[in-house]
Amino acid sequence: QVLLVESGGGLVKPGGSLRLSCAASGFTFSDYFMSWIRQAPGKGLEWLAYISSSSIYISYADSVKGRFTISRDNAKNSLYLQMNSLRAEDTAVYYCAREDKWLVRGPLQWGQGTLVTVSS
């Protein structure tokens, strides 16, 4: 079955950096678009970025463009999110999610999430 396991969350100071990872299994990772989505405490879902199967197509939400970088390593079945210049408002649970093979129509499966806390 599809399994997505995020890691790399934790406490970081404002202005700091963090790299999240998502280990995928149970499907052919290299065939699918992947996304990162976050949820601030008590708030709704916010899509952050997606990446196509071969990393040709990448898109970001305006709120993270220029600060966050999505990438993937198909040989390792892994998705990444490099987060720089972190702010208090980036505090959230970060989810990785599997999209469709050919386009982004909305996440099909989600990981359990990893908590990122930005605080001094």
Partner 1 sequence: QSALTQPASVSGSPGQSITISCTGTNSDVGGYNYVSWYQQHPGKAPKLMIYDVTNRPSGVSDRFSGSKSGNTASLTISGLQAEDEADYYCSSYTSSNTLLFGGGTKVTVL
Asked if 60 and 46 touch (Cβ cutoff 8 Å), the reply is no
Minimum CB separation of residue 24 from partner 1 in Å reads 14
Q: Of 13-21, 66-74, 80-88, 105-113, which part binds partner 1 (CB under 8 A)?
A: 105-113
**Per rule CB under 8 A, is residue 35 in the interface with partner 1?**
yes
**Per rule CB under 8 A, is residue 40 in the interface with partner 1?**
no
One-letter identity of residue 30: S
Q: Say whether 64 sits in a helix, a strand or coil.
A: coil
Residue among 61, 67, 71, 117 that touches partner 1 (CB under 8 A): 61
**Per rule CB under 8 A, is residue 44 in the interface with partner 1?**
yes
CB atoms within 10 A of CB 81: 25
One-letter identity of residue 93: V
**Per rule CB under 8 A, is residue 111 in the interface with partner 1?**
yes
Helix or strand holding residue 73 (H, E): strand 68-73
Residue among 11, 30, 103, 119 that touches partner 1 (CB under 8 A): 103
Minimum CB separation of residue 28 from partner 1 in Å reads 18
What Cα–Cα distance (Å) separates residue 37 from each residue in 18, 40, 72, 115, 120? 16, 10, 15, 12, 24
**Per rule CB under 8 A, is residue 115 in the interface with partner 1?**
no
> Which residues contribute to the site for partner 1 (CB under 8 A)?
35, 37, 44-47, 50, 57, 59-62, 95, 103-113
